């Protein structure tokens, strides 16, 4: 179901002509983000209600300029940025976005934009050059290797990273580039392909003033090349403010101001607040916003002023000083007659805005300046773009304001603020199933202009990912070497502990203990892979959010990368124990079953690490499943003695098959391995039959096939989680 907001009133025509120096950019219309929140009713019951985190924000970000999104804490800056970048799940955000006059869907936004997160997620053991070169390999698949190198070298020079070209990125455990350089590398990774739209979430967070200044200067240069840049920023210095071209100030999900930073002082004057001498206009406006937020009027009065030019009611001296006294941002009870809480389950809870009367909605967009420019737009220009019939003008001027009817209240006259309001089109629609579905959805031709969704083929992506994986493993050998050392030491210990078993029942028991311990050892040796993907998951989400590569190629590359290392681990352990213990059966089968066991357990651990949010829960989950698999593998109770309601656990346990395979390889023969107390010979076949694992129609190779099946299943589940659950977006 779609709701058409088209203005069909015959006596009012809105002209949204753009200034002559307009060169395009990002436009957004009526962005509203609604979530369900729990609220305690008067009866003391918790009820779910709808709440607007963003409420009908309309505006623009001009091309070739830096648009800064600012506001107090909790204003909705990051939420607003996520909404523009297509990082909010379809259906949750309503509204419309267009770029250079073309309607954009979330998929199109992601393919034409780059998003630099607040945290720098980079591989610490790659150099600056290597990091940017891999980004070029992912995003510039159509050009030659030499051209990629040239573009990377040029980008390093432009970002001021020449001195850090061959320096490792580094992390908490190893020194690398500085914080400002790391942030510039993050920017370079996402702009290597020359996106027309760039989003940055708090690019100066955690940086000193000099580094922050350097980062914004580089972003300023990127904007001047022709990109549309939108960033959120908190308390920028005066030098950084001079680099900002366009300003959007939010509070409680509503638009408070939009326009040039130079016009903030004029906005305050028209609001009725004089700027104190020596005070920063932007900081003072945010202080005023907080004063209103904690007053009985709320920020709705300022949102109405930004929307229509209606002068907000003046605050008392107590209310103006209340923000410095109040220990928490809890606002006073609102004087507005509109209720913020309907008090019924399922009703909308307006956390950031109140409703307006029909009379107000008749003219709330008619004074919007389409592209506010402090140099080229004047108040008369705006009035020329609005054509009202005389009847409508008289009716508008007589409309009372719901908040205040004081003599200072602005009407449709020369007193109306010409600035903050933004362009409003009369033909926008909102679809509940797609938060940005214009009247005419993008067709296949529009997508084809952008080229393929991915820059490389599946095989090319897999090869690049494998090269990067091998470099990371070579430079961080601790994970691989730790497993190899553990298996080597344990192999020597097992070889000396279980050497030369007796031809007795105790000797058979000792040999069974060796096999079950081997299976458990190989399972536990893969547990240290839990944090490996958890640490890498954030990089995966950042890179795949803008189609750097496929989740399938990432899954296959990770599998192929570890195959030779798993084989080496299995071969070292098998070589030590096989000859020392003089095991029976083919050595090749012994090696293969150990190798496939490592592959299966590694696939299982990787799948678990993709599901859990952190490595602590990952370790807990792996240990819990290890205990269950060990309990039902057939060592404590064979498959015949397990109760029927638990027999399925024997089939699910990934320890069952390597344990049974090792026993079949050792005892599937008529050779005597011991004697009972009464002197009866016990052959290998007798041992397998007593354990209920010998079947002539169930050869030992079937155990390997089943283990391979489990490994494939876990990798498929891992891929599904990556493909559909590992997305950096709000719901």
pLDDT, tens only, 338-395? 334 433 334 444 444 333 333 333 333 333 333 333 333 333 333 233 333 333 333 3
Residue 499 lies in a domain: yes
Residue 462 lies in a domain: yes
Query: Which tens digit of pLDDT belongs to each residue from 425-434?
Result: 222 233 333 3
Residue 709 lies in a domain: yes
pTM of this prediction exceeds 0.85: no
First to last CA, the chain: 20
CA distances from 72 to 69, 232, 251 (A): 11, 12, 6
- 127 pairs with which residues across the strands? 168
Residue 220 lies in a domain: yes
Query: Which tens digit of pLDDT belongs to each residue from 648-706?
Result: 999 999 999 999 999 999 888 788 787 776 667 888 888 888 888 866 655 788 899 99
Residue 271 lies in a domain: yes
Q: Which two tokens stand for residue 286?
A: 């945010």
Query: Which tens digit of pLDDT belongs to each residue from 396-439?
Result: 333 333 322 222 222 322 333 333 333 332 222 333 333 333 33
Single out the residue in 263, 293, 308 at which a domain terminates: 308
Query: What are the DSSP E strand ranges found in 626-683?
Result: 672-675, 681-683
Query: Which tens digit of pLDDT belongs to each residue from 206-237?
Result: 888 888 898 999 999 989 988 899 999 988 88
Domains: count for the chain: 2
Q: Which two tokens stand for residue 29?
A: 């219309």
Mean pLDDT confidence for 578-595: 91
Residue 3 lies in a domain: no
Query: Which tens digit of pLDDT belongs to each residue from 109-149?
Result: 888 888 988 888 899 999 999 999 999 999 888 789 999 99
Q: What is the pLDDT of residue 455?
A: 85
Single out the residue in 276, 293, 308 at which a domain terminates: 308
Instruction: Tell me the residue range of the domain where 140 lies.
Output: 25-308
Q: What is the pLDDT of residue 695?
A: 61
Q: Tokens 């903030």 label which residue?
A: 264
Residue 388 lies in a domain: no
Single out the residue in 290, 308, 326 at which a domain terminates: 308
User: Do the beta carbons of residue 15 and residue 365 sit within 8 Å?
Assistant: no
Query: Which tens digit of pLDDT belongs to each residue from 250-284?
Result: 998 999 999 999 999 999 998 888 888 888 999 99
Residue 313 has pLDDT above 70, yes or no: yes
Q: In this structure, which long-range contacts are made by residues 452-458, counting pairs with CB atoms below 8 Å and at least 24 apart in sequence?
A: 453/111, 453/547, 454/141, 454/547, 454/549, 454/550, 455/138, 455/139, 455/140, 455/141, 455/142, 455/193, 455/547, 455/548, 456/137, 456/138, 456/141, 456/549, 457/141, 458/550, 458/552, 458/553
Q: Which two tokens stand for residue 529?
A: 């892979």
For residue 419, the number of C-alpha atoms closer than 13 Å in the C-beta half-sphere is: 26
User: Do the beta carbons of residue 342 and residue 44 sit within 8 Å?
Assistant: no
Q: What is the pLDDT of residue 697?
A: 57
Q: Residue 731: which of 411, 450, 435, 400 has the closest Cα?
A: 435
Query: Which tens digit of pLDDT belongs to each residue from 498-545?
Result: 888 787 888 888 899 999 999 999 998 888 778 777 888 889 988 888
Residue 713 lies in a domain: yes
CATH code where residue 74 lies = 3.40.50.300
């Amino acid at each position: 179901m779609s709701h058409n907001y088209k203005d069909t009133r015959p006596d009012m025509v809105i002209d949204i002509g753009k200034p002559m120096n307009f060169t395009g950019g990002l436009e957004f219309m009526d962005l509203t983000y609604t979530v369900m929140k729990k609220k305690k009713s008067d009866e003391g019951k918790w009820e779910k209600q709808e709440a607007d985190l963003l409420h009908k924000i309309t505006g623009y970000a001009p091309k070739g300029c830096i648009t800064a999104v600012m506001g107090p804490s909790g204003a909705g800056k990051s939420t607003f940025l996520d909404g523009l970048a297509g990082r909010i799940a379809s259906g949750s955000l309503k509204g419309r976005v267009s770029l250079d006059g073309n309607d954009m869907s979330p998929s199109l936004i992601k393919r034409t934009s780059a998003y630099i997160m607040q945290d720098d997620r980079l591989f610490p053991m790659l150099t600056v050059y290597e990091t940017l070169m891999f980004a070029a390999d992912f995003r510039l698949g159509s050009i030659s290797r030499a051209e990629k190198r040239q573009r990377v070298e040029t980008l390093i020079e432009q970002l001021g990273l020449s001195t850090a070209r061959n320096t490792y990125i580094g992390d908490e455990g190893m020194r690398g580039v500085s914080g400002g350089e790391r942030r510039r590398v993050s920017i370079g990774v996402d702009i290597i392909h020359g996106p027309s739209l760039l989003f940055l979430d708090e690019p100066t967070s955690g940086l000193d003033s000099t580094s922050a200044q350097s980062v914004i200067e580089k972003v300023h240069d990127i904007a001047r090349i022709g990109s549309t840049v939108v960033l959120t920023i908190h308390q920028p210095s005066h030098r950084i403010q001079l680099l900002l071209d366009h300003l959007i100030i939010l509070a409680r999900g509503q638009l408070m101001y939009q326009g040039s930073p130079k016009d903030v002082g004029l906005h305050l004057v028209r609001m009725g607040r004089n700027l104190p001498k020596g005070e920063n206009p932007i900081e003072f406006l945010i202080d005023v916003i907080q004063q209103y937020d904690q007053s009985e009027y709320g920020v709705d009065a300022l949102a109405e002023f930004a929307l229509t030019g209606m002068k907000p009611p003046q605050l008392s001296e107590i209310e103006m000083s209340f923000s410095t006294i109040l220990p928490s941002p809890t606002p006073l009870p609102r004087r507005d007659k509109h209720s913020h809480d309907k008090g019924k389950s399922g009703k909308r809870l307006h956390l950031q805005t109140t409703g307006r009367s029909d009379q107000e909605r008749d003219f709330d967009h008619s004074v919007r300046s389409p592209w506010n420019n402090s140099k080229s737009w004047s108040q008369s220009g705006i009035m020329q773009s609005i054509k009202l019939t005389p009847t409508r003008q008289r009716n508008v001027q007589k409309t009372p304001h719901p908040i205040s009817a004081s003599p200072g209240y602005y009407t449709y006259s020369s007193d109306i603020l010409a600035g903050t309001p933004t362009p409003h089109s009369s033909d926008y629609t909102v679809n509940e199933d797609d938060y940005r579905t214009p009247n005419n959805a993008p067709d296949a031709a529009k997508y084809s202009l952008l080229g393929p969704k991915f820059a490389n083929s599946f095989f090319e992506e897999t090869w690049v990912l494998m090269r990067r994986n091998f470099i990371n493993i070579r430079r961080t050998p601790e994970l691989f070497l730790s497993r190899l050392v553990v298996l080597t030491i344990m192999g020597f210990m097992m070889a000396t502990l279980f050497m030369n078993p007796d031809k007795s029942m105790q000797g058979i028991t000792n040999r069974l203990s060796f096999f079950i311990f081997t299976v458990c050892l190989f399972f536990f040796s893969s547990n240290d892979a839990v944090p490996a993907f958890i640490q890498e998951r954030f990089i995966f989400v950042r890179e795949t959010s803008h189609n750097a590569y496929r989740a399938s190629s990432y899954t296959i590359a990770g599998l192929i990368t570890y195959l030779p290392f798993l084989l080496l681990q299995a071969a070292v352990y098998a070589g030590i124990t096989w000859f020392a213990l003089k095991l029976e059966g083919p050595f090749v089968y012994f090696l293969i079953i150990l190798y496939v066991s490592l592959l299966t357990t590694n696939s299982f651990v990787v799948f678990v690490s993709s599901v859990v949010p952190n490595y602590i829960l990952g370790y807990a989950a792996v240990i819990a499943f290890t205990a269950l698999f060990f309990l039902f593998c057939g060592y404590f109770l064979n498959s015949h003695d397990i109760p029927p309601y638990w027999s399925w656990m024997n089939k699910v346990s990934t320890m069952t098959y390597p344990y049974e395979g090792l026993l079949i390889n050792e005892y599937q023969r008529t050779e005597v391995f011991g004697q009972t107390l009464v002197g009866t010979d016990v052959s290998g076949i007798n041992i397998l039959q007593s354990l209920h694992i010998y079947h002539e129609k169930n050869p030992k190779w079937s155990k390997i096939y089943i283990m391979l099946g489990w490994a494939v299943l876990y990798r498929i589940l891992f891929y599904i989680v990556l493909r559909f659950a590992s997305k950096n977006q709000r719901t």
